Amino acid sequence: MTGEQRHIALVAHDNKKLDLLNWADYNRLTLSHHSLYATGTTGTMLEHELGLHVHKFLSGPVGGDQQIGAKIAEGLIDLLVFFWDPLEPQPHDPDVKALLRIAAVWNIGVACNLASADLMISSPLLAGPYDRVRPDYGDVPDTTELLARAS
């Protein structure tokens, strides 16, 4: 594969981890060409089962969601694949909402289920040129140097 390398965050609630693992296994070749990030438990599972390098943060309930949100705000994450469980109450629900909110604020792609993840990962825009519109809120530093360091 030639083209752009994206920074993809992978997150899944407990009841959705197997779904994310199966999706990532099916898309292993594509994912192997990108930088992967994940919350702790999900990242450990993906790394162990798929043999792909994953930059791991804390587990979601203890701050991993916020860590990924911070990377989104810094301009270092291009796509969030977050298989969340809409039927199971989450004790860290405010963190989940904050993560989804920050992804919307900074205009990054968000896949919340298998169908949206399939459509996004198969898009020619994933590996091709794509200039995401990054909103200018007036007080945001230039992230060019941060992006260069992350690559």
Write down the pTM of the prediction.
Answer: 0.86
Q: Return the active site residues.
A: 65
pLDDT at residue 21 tops 50: yes
Question: For residue 70, how many other CB atoms are within 10 A of its CB?
Answer: 14
The CA distances from residue 108 to 44, 66, 88, 133, in Å, are 24, 16, 25, 9
Helix (H, G, I), strand (E, B) or coil at 128: coil
Give the model's confidence band at 65: pLDDT under 50 very low, under 70 low, under 90 confident, else very high.
very high
Which candidate, 133, 131, 138, 66, places its Cα nearest to that of 98?
66
Q: Angle CA(150)–CA(110)–CA(103) in degrees, nearest 5?
A: 65
Regarding the domain with residue range 7-79+99-129, which homologous superfamily does it belong to in the CATH classification? Methylglyoxal synthase-like domain (3.40.50.1380)
Rounded CA-CA distance 9/35 in Å is: 9
The per-residue pLDDT of the chain, averaged, comes to 88
Q: What is the average per-residue pLDDT within 120-135? A: 88
With 50 as the cut, is the pLDDT of residue 102 above it? yes
Dihedral pair phi/psi, residue 90, rounded to 5°: -110, 130
Residue 1: which pLDDT band, with cuts at 50, 70 and 90? very low
**Domain layout of the chain by residue ranges:** 7-79+99-129
Q: Is the pLDDT of residue 55 over 60?
A: yes
Between CA 119 and CA 114 the distance in angstroms is 9
